[in-house]
Chain A
């Protein structure tokens, strides 16, 4: 009988899907992925998962219930560590056990452990365990690992180049690759090529700010408040939309706010578009090494984007009851505040009413445009009044050009 392996569309699916798929197909399995999260899937998840779990875990349970009667294997690896000296969230560590405890009629669960915390070579043990579960040889496992790594490298490169995740996954599934940017659809180029290049390189090579900041006659001049529909005429704002990929790119959760932001005239920048070295550099501002891989990526990328002024504002998109994000969100907020970059934290839970989210997004975009139009772009809410022509507390660097120097008195930026 051919092995039909189901991959639930949730949690680390949004990080490793191309790798998972190439690996399993290399082992001769047919891969089935559950569809985008729908209301039924969400309802199923809420009913089956423990009440204390966060929303992404509940959605994962929904995807498991969708798949469990359609496949003869479920691929729920125990991803303990994906990088030396770093770990994943405890909920990911215990995921296979949580799923097994939550259902009685499950197909065979492939729950091989991946633990690279001490040795990267442990990945070979992981693939050989996956192969054994499917009744395949270790030799075949090695070959499919090689193939999977190749596919994954190309996929990561696409993300770095500014292709948004859903588009990159679609291209990988079709076996094609793209250097260029991709939006939610081809006809809506959401991220311009030039922009993503600049973000990637971490510095401004062109004229990012074509309009010189103009000071309104009176600061409270109402004419500076953007009117409806005006967004389309303005220079697009670049907004860092930061959070876990499984939250950002889930159809029921993050995609609608992201589309709405695009409608308001914003370009989305995600953590995946920031290079690893810059993530490391950004995360390095905290005195102790961060040991949560995915949160470190989000935090490091946020710091990088803020310090290089590559974005006009930062939106942190977190799930209610997310442990790691409760700390990372606070850290990122303090960095944004010190640099005078507008920051908004959006917390989501099960409710499907979107009015609250839309109100906050609209107000956030209004605020940024209002601040920019009145000429007080870098107005710090911490009381330090900054003008683009007067430098910043982090040294005198021109906005958007070069990397700011750390302020010696600022413990957060002490290197």
Chain B
């Protein structure tokens, strides 16, 4: 199912659908052919610069695609989906829940439960008969997500890739508080100072995170197999094992677990564009143009909204952030229609009006 089998259209071009998932930690791009086979993928760290990450990821995918590939549709998802939608010219901008569910359904038919743990959020999606029937995301706190594991790995001086294997070697895992990342950290330091082995501590941490996930995010949900575990944290075999021990079921990890959101966005894009539809895709060259974001505080009222503007070579192509919506369309122009036209941000004088 996951093998690469490029399918050529009659005309000799390979029809490709792109999905872009801009998360807080990583930005992922996936390219699928029209039979939903993954042809190319990329996983780059966002590092707080989403536009650069999108461009970097797109470059990797572009280089990996065969020359006869033609992009027929683009979908974006993740917390930066709106931004990615502008940069790439998306045909569909969808939330992560739907994108992850669509991707998991493609790889595991009849999936009932999706556990997704990413950089800064974790979610559970419950499906029945191929339809999302319930979901939950972590609330105000990000304890137990990828960022925390990364931090603990670097504090212990182990590479995050080795973290899981270390946990597998544990004989008697220690108990660590999983409710709060700060408490977990002080608990871990305490346990290591009294002489517990690194293996037992890492396994204990995995168990604590799983416990916290099941009591917090998955609280009250009926977790039925098949269970799919995806997101960056699914790379951690220690977490997989801890989930399987806690749930008593096998936990499936799809081959492309790191880029499932992007795959889902690509599938949604194919659906959105339809068989003959046209795409809004800007082209790879369009994506690589010089994008800038600026922001200002609107002083039109006491809300003091923080407005974000996206500029391509000096032209404003998108603007958002105002609660009243008045900035959303002011002074906007499609850069493809009027390239190079001088455009500056509307002055504050207008803002007060």
Q: Is chain B a partner of chain A in the same complex?
A: yes
Quote the shortest CB–CB distance from B326 to chain A (angstroms).
14
Please determine whether A320 and B302 come into contact, CB atoms closer than 8 angstroms: no
Q: A35-B302, A367-B133, A374-B129 are in contact. Are A225 and B96 (CB under 8 A)?
A: no
Minimum Cβ distance to chain B for residue A351 (Å): 8
11 A-B pairs with C-beta separation under 8 A? A220-B109, A227-B92, A342-B133, A359-B137, A363-B98, A364-B135, A374-B130, A379-B129, A379-B131, A379-B133, A381-B222
* A349 CA / B102 CA spacing, docked (Å): 31
Q: Roughly how many angstroms separate A251 CA and B129 CA in the complex, as a whole number?
A: 40
Q: Tell me the A202-243 residues at the B interface (CB within 8 Å).
A: 218-225, 227-228
| Contact A347-B302, Cβ < 8 Å, known A367-B97, A379-B129 | no
Given known A334-B220, A360-B137, A371-B132, contact A225–B98 (CB-CB < 8 A): yes
A371 to B303, CA, bound (A): 37
* Known A225-B102, A363-B97; contact A355-B126, beta-carbon cutoff 8 A: no
Q: Mark A355-388, 1 if CB is under 8 A from B, else 0.
A: 1100110111011001100101001011101000
Query: Interface size bucket, A side?
Result: 35 or more
Within the complex, the shortest CB–CB distance from B100 to chain A, in Å, comes to: 10
Q: Which chain A residue has the least Cβ–Cβ distance from B224?
A: A383
B128: interface (CB < 8 Å) = yes
Stretch at the interface among B45-53, B204-212, B264-272: B264-272
B131 contact from A256, A345, A355, A374, Cβ within 8 A: A374
Assess the A381–B126 pair: CB atoms within 8 A: yes
In the complex formed, the residue of A with least CB distance to B305 is A39
CB neighbours of A35 from chain B (8 A)? 302
B residues 122-152 touching A (CB-CB < 8 Å): 126, 128-135, 137, 139-140
Q: In angstroms, how far is the closest chain A Cβ from the Cβ of B152? A: 24
Residue of B nearest to A372 (CB): B131
Knowing A40-B302, A363-B96, A366-B95, the reply to whether A225 touches B139 (Cβ < 8 A) is: no
Contact B304 A363 (CB under 8 A): no
* Complex: A316 Cα to B104 Cα, angstroms: 28
B181 interface hit (Cβ, 8 Å): no
**Ranked 10 nearest A-B pairs via Cβ:** A220-B130, A363-B97, A38-B302, A219-B130, A219-B129, A347-B139, A363-B95, A362-B95, A381-B134, A222-B271
Residues in chain B near residue A379, CB distance under 8 A = 128-129, 131, 133
Q: Using CB atoms, name the residue of chain A closest to B139.
A: A347
Q: Which residues of B contact A333 (CB under 8 A)?
A: 220
Q: B139: which A residues are within 8 A, CB to CB? A: 320, 345, 347
Distance between B221 CB and nearest chain A CB, rounded to angstroms: 7
Q: Digit string of B212-224 for contact with A (CB within 8 Å is 1, else 0)?
A: 0000000011101
A25-68 interface bits toward B, Cβ cutoff 8 Å, 1 = contact, 0 = none: 00000000001101111000000000000000000000000000
Known: A225-B102, A367-B132, A370-B131. 18 other contacts (CB 8 A): A221-B130, A222-B268, A225-B98, A227-B271, A228-B92, A228-B272, A342-B133, A345-B139, A347-B139, A366-B97, A367-B97, A367-B98, A367-B135, A370-B132, A371-B132, A371-B133, A379-B131, A383-B222
**A251 near B130 (CB under 8 angstroms)?**
no
State which of B79, B129, B268, B303 has its C-beta within 8 Å of the C-beta of A225. Answer: B268
A156 sits at the interface (CB 8 A): no
- A337 sits at the interface (CB 8 A): yes
Q: How far apart are A158's CB and chain B's nearest CB, in angstroms?
A: 25
| A228, A348, A349: the one within 8 Å of B93 (CB) | A228
For the complex, what is the distance from the CA of A327 to the CA of B278, rounded to whole Å? 51
Question: When chains A and B are docked, how far (Å) is the Cα of A348 from the Cα of B94?
Answer: 22
Query: Which residue of the partner chain A has the closest CB to B105?
Result: A220
> Which residues of B are found within 8 Å of A251, using beta-carbon distances?
303
User: Taking CB as reference atom, which chain A residue is nearest B324?
Assistant: A259
From B79, B93, B109, B134, give the contact of A342 (CB < 8 A).
Answer: B134
A36, A218, A225: the one within 8 Å of B302 (CB): A36
Q: Bound state CA distance, A337 and B133, in angstroms? A: 11
The CA of A251 and the CA of B305, in the complex, are separated in Å by 12
Is B255's CB within 8 Å of the partner chain A?
no
Contacts of A219 in B (CB 8 A): 129-131
Cβ of B292 under 8 Å from chain A: no
B323 CB-CB contact with A under 8 Å: yes
Interface string of A252-288 (1 = CB under 8 A from B): 0000100000000000000000000000000000000
A219-B131, A251-B303, A371-B133 known; A366+B268 contact, CB < 8 A: no
Closest chain B CB from A334 CB (angstroms): 7
Q: Is the CB of B98 within 8 A of A366?
A: yes
Contacts of A362 in B (CB 8 A): 94-95
| A351 cross-chain contacts in B, Cβ below 8 A | 140
Report how far A170 CA is from B132 CA in the complex, Å. 40
- The CA-CA distance from A323 to B171 in the complex, in Å, is 41
Smallest CB gap from A40: residue in B: B302
In the complex, which residues of chain B have a beta carbon less than 8 angstroms from the beta carbon of A360? 137
Q: In angstroms, how far is the closest chain B Cβ from the Cβ of A212?
A: 18
Partner of A222, one of B79, B102, B221: B102
Q: Give the docked Cα–Cα distance between A94 and B109 (Å).
A: 56
Q: How far is B108's CA from A150's CA once the two chains are assembled, in angstroms? A: 62
With a cutoff of 8 Å between Cβ atoms, the chain B residues found around residue A381 in the complex are 126, 128, 133-134, 221-222
Query: Considering the chains assembled together, what is the distance between the CA atoms of A219 and B121 in angstroms?
Result: 28
In the complex the two chains form, what is the Cα distance from A220 to B101 in whole Å? 10
- Decide: B222 and A382 in contact? CB cutoff 8 A: yes
Distance in Å from the Cβ of A318 to the closest Cβ of chain B?
9
How far is it, in angstroms, between the C-alpha of A36 and the C-alpha of B137 when the chains are bound? 30
Measured between beta carbons, the chain A residues less than 8 angstroms from B132 are 366-367, 370-371
| A228–B94 alpha-carbon span in the complex (Å) | 8
Instruction: Tell me the smallest distance from the CB of A148 to a CB of chain B, in Å.
Output: 30
Q: How far does the alpha carbon of A220 sit from the alpha carbon of B323 in the complex, in Å?
A: 36
Of B139, B224, B272, B304, the most chain A CB neighbours within 10 A belong to B139
